[in-house]
Every structure is written in C-alpha cells, then in structure tokens.
Structure 1
C-alpha cells in the first residue's frame, strides 16, 4: 500500500497523487466505504493500492482522519479560503462577500481576500476615482479586521506572484462571486493549467463559471488550490444559531468582551459594546448590518423548524 492525496474526483474515480511524487493513479473506492456511509473527498489523505498491470489504476483502501470537511464544495483537509471578488464588472456584492467570510470562519478556515480586475482602478475620470475610493475603504476595513487583501489583474499581469507566495504550504478552496475571473486567476497562479474561461455576460452583468468538478492544482512548490463551481448564493448550515454567526465576525468577538451581558447577540440587548462601536464609527456599519441580517435569518429559521 502507498500513501497519497486525492486531487480530483470525477465519474466514480478518485485521482490519487502518491506521496513523494509519481504519476497520478485513477482509483476506485472499496465497497466498504459505501456500506459505512463514507465517501472519499478531494483533499483526503488515503492509503491505496495500485494495480501492477500498467493500467495506472488502483483502489483506495483507507481514509486518514480529516482536519476539516466542507459539504459545499465537497473537500477535506482544506485550511484556507481564497475568496475572489472583482473590484468591478460585476459590482462587488459586500453582502455576499461577508457571507463567504462567515461560512469560512464557521468551517475553521483562514480567509484570504483577492480582488481581481485591479487594472480598472487605473482609469481616468470621476467614475474611476470614485471606484478607487470605495475599494480603498473596503481594503482598510477588511485589513483592520485581520484579513489579508491582495489585488490581481490578469490583463495587466500583476499580483499573482505575491498571492502565490501567500498560498505556500496551504490547501485552499477558491470561492467567490460569479464572473470575477476565478479561472483566469488560477491560470496565472498555476501556469500551464489553461482552464476554460467565459467572458462576463453584458446582458446579465455576471459570468458563468466553467468548472464542473472539484480538483486540486499545485501552486508553487507547496501550495494546493481547489477550483470549484462558482456560486451566486450560499445557505447557512441548518445546525448553526445566531451565537455562531456572532462568533464568525472576528472584530465583534473582540468588542464583545465589553458587552454588559455575557452571550450578548448585539441585536437589542442593553449595554452592547458592539452596537456602541458601530454608532461611534469604531466598527464598520455595513458589516454590522450584514451580521444583524444573518443572525436574524438563522434565528427565524430555527423558530420555524
């Protein structure tokens, strides 16, 4: 038996990269997994047996314990979320951005924010100046919280080297708003991939991501990126409550130490330090509005069911 890492799952095959290098082996999973109700995932560390007939095929024998497990997208042992939005075209949706960040926090992932199409910030005129102002404020807001923010441009060929360095030693899942150039970004982070890309729809104002399965790609010497189908909306896991949402806003967690009541949800409770910080301009009001909407959403859902 050999140790390896599942780098792709497609049509019933699990493509395993042997530890230490070598050709990828197309494996089927043992029937025992199905009986146990367990399915191998991309990112799983496994033990497998390769056939000795030269076919390049084999069998996954054992799954190693997982450090993390995501359902959507289905991937194991991921430690980083690379959240990709464009500075414009399509317009940056901050509600969706904060939802991705919350879901990453709930999954125990570190988030890195990448803003693509940064060449749009270099234009002349009032519109470009206004865009630069909005994006600069956004950068300051999220870096103050503790998130790292990178700017890239496929057209100008900038930013990919810095981002590649930040991803070394990580297994990262790529997610974000549709039409922002995730495939173009991956093509620059991992030269030679030549992933198919689609231009953004002028009529709809959004793009159609072309990826149909989850696959890990090597980035630099030690980074791995999972390209995944694009999303336009995401649902919160059914089991979470408003207190989980509160814990997924790092800046509010720090402020909550000053709340009058333990377990404060920062909605209507008296003596709330978080709401006070928002009113004083110490915390971002739009982030708070998104938090309140998310917390209310999950609380109302629990009441219904």
Structure 2
C-alpha cells in the first residue's frame, strides 16, 4: 500500500502511478504505467521531514497537469533498497569485476556478493577486460570462473557476445537489474554492449590513482531484453557491518547449504569441533579462498563498534 504524505492534493490535477526511471538534479522522471509516457516531477517537501527519499526503481503516485510539472505524492512499499547504488526494488544485480586494470581481488568479489545476497537480490558475476590478460593469467581466471559456477552463480565475461545471449535475456526478463562494482571496472562498457544504442559515457582509468574515474553521474533505468537495467555510479567500498555476524553464513550459498549440520547451533565455523563447514573445507567441498573471505568478514563484523553496526 502506498504511504500518503498527508498533504491535500489539488483535485484539478490528474493522478497517475508509475515507476521512477531516472533521478537527476532534484527531478524524478517517471514512466507512467499505463501509457509509458515520461513525466518530469519533483518530490513533496515533507518526504524529507519523514526521512523518505524517492529512489530510481520506486513505484510512486504522482499528480501532474503536464509532463514537465508533476509532483510525487506517495511512495509504494519497497521490496528492497540499495543505498550504494541508490536503486529500489532490485531483482538482479550484475557484479562487474575487472581481471586487470584494476585487478579486483576474489575477497572483494566475495564481499560484494554477500552485500547483494543480504538484500535478497540475485547476484550474477560479470568479469571484464579478459582481452587484456597475458597467457599466464588466463588459467587463474578460468579457475576463478569455475569456482563461482560450481557454487551456483551465473558467470558472464567480456569475451561473450551478450547481445546474443539467450541466457542473459532469460535472466533479465521482467526484472529490475543493476550493474554494481568499483569505478573503472567496466560497468558502462558492459551496458554499452547490451543496450540497443550504446549511450553510456566511459572514461579511461586514472593511472595516478590506480582506480577508475566515476563516469556515471546519476542512476537511470534502461529498457533491455524486457527488463529495466540501471547504470549506477561506481564506488570504492561497501559496509557490511549491518549484517549480524551469526547471519553471515546465510549469504554464502555453500555455507548456507550446510546450515544446521554443525554440532553447535551458533557455530562460527572457526574454532568449534564437529563443524560441518570446516569438514567441507577439509574435504575440498568449500574453497579456501571463500572460507578465508568468510573469516575476514566475520571478524570485521564482530569487531565493529555497536553504533556503526548498521547499513550504510
């Protein structure tokens, strides 16, 4: 049910419902759900008083006399909201990670995957810049791909023609999809490959800083393969402190598959005897890389100060 903002509406204005497809400079661009017409709107002043902020992906009610002067009046309840990037009601997230220039570590990939899983969003992995690999590096990347596929993640690479991928089309159909990852890893190039007209700005890596420049300045939904695809600003890090440490294993699929099989209910999978996760690690059923990522994230959450133990 939509939350009414409590202000009286002008009966002379027409009432509409739609989805925010772009937010830019204080304006919200809404695709009306009956006609598909785009309306430029602003938010009601008391959204801020109620600590509400419309996000791209939100379903909203709005009033408008024309397509340039609308006003958002209510925001529908969200299934989720990604603060970084700022998109609501996300179904699927492509984690874009570059294998070089800059090289993204497997532990950082695992961190992003946990973040995505914790929001109830289906993660998909996209590895970019494979064309820049040396022959000696190819084998390592092939092993990384095999690891994530064995866990159950769909993996795409920059060597594939995504515009012709039926698997990708089936994944995206009727979903709100985001591409997330650090700046400079190739999110905009990835989207340029699948959009009907490549119109997402790209930029070269900043050699001095060793990371990418932020090439995307706002969030916007694009129609792709029957779904809505968001291009979103890159970011350098994410906080996972809001996840209770005892719930962390829920967001690593191979750990979650063993839930309830440890001797102790509150097993941390680190020091306890008869731990199903450690047994699977010893048997080679869980990779050392993923286990090390889990331990690092667990210790980070456990050592976080209580006042910072929240989503950021």
Q: TM-score, normalised by structure 2?
A: 0.87
Tell me the distance in 2 between the aligned counterparts of 1:208 and 1:132.
Answer: 26
Tell me the distance in 2 between the aligned counterparts of 1:165 and 1:254.
Answer: 26
Structure 2: any 5+ residue segments left out of the alignment?
Answer: 1-14
Tell me the residue number matched to 1:19.
33
Tell me the residue number matched to 1:252.
255
Give the superposition deviation at 1:105.
0.9
Give the superposition deviation at 1:6.
0.3
More deviation, 195-204/265-274: 195-204
The answer to whether residue 17 in structure 2 is matched with residue 3 in structure 1 is yes
Tell me the residue number matched to 1:124.
none
More deviation, 284-293/17-26: 17-26
- The answer on whether the counterparts of 1:214 and 1:226 sit within 8 Å (CA) in structure 2 is yes
Give the superposition deviation at 1:304.
8.7
Alignment of 1:1-305 (within 5 A): 1-52=15-66, 56-120=68-132, 127-128=134-135, 130-153=136-159, 158-162=161-165, 163-220=168-225, 222-237=226-241, 239-302=242-305
Give the aligned CA root-mean-square deviation in angstroms.
2.0
Q: TM-score, normalised by structure 1?
A: 0.89
SS in 1 for 2:96: strand
- How many aligned residue pairs are there? 292
SS in 1 for 2:94: strand
Tell me the distance in 2 between the aligned counterparts of 1:302 and 1:22.
Answer: 47
Change (3 A) 1:187 1:280: same
Give the superposition deviation at 1:87.
2.9
Change (3 A) 1:169 1:141: same
User: Residues 144-178 of structure 1, C-alpha deviation per residue, up to 9 Å, x if partnerless?
Assistant: 1111001124xxx7234323442121111211133
SS in 1 for 2:258: helix
